[in-house]
């Protein structure tokens, strides 16, 4: 899990029925793979999971994509084939997480009370 001010590199794929996301190491690894398919997917992907956003775009809440959902969108539930299609046709995006915004000293009590 990334912490504050760290970037996430992902590939967003807008499908006919839903939106999908896979995380990648960086744009250089993705471009190298797109030009040379002999590079293993393990050197491109940052985690071996396909996420679905339930039509909420690239910034939506991410859930693991079910085999049925993959089958209906891509015609296969084989994750290797699905990830290949997403990496080929998807849009590379990078986002930066903001720093942690919670209370720093919990001994002060909730900040909502307005002491």
Q: What 8-state DSSP symbol labels residue 90?
A: S
By CB atoms closer than 10 A (0-12, 13-18, 19+), residue 14 is middle
**For residue 22, what are its two tokens?**
């896979």
Q: Which fold has domain 9-93?
A: 3.30.1250
Query: Each residue of 3-43: pLDDT tens digit?
Result: 556 678 899 999 998 999 999 988 999 999 999 999 999 99
For residue range 57-112, what is the model confidence (pLDDT) as tens digits? 777 788 999 999 999 999 999 999 999 999 999 999 987 655 555 556 666 666 55
pTM of the predicted model as reported, rounded to 2 decimal places: 0.76
């Amino acid at each position: 899990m990334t912490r504050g001010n760290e970037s996430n590199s992902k590939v967003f794929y807008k499908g006919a029925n839903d939106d999908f996301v896979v995380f990648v190491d960086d744009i250089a690894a993705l471009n190298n793979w797109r030009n040379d398919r002999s590079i293993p997917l393990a050197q491109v992907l940052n985690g071996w999971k396909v996420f679905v956003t339930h039509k909420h775009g690239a910034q939506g809440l991410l859930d693991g994509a079910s085999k049925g959902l993959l089958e209906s969108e891509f015609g296969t539930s084989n994750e290797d084939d699905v990830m290949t299609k997403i990496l080929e046709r998807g849009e590379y995006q990078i986002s930066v997480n903001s720093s942690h915004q919670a209370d720093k000293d919990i001994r002060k009590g909730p900040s909502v009370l307005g002491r």
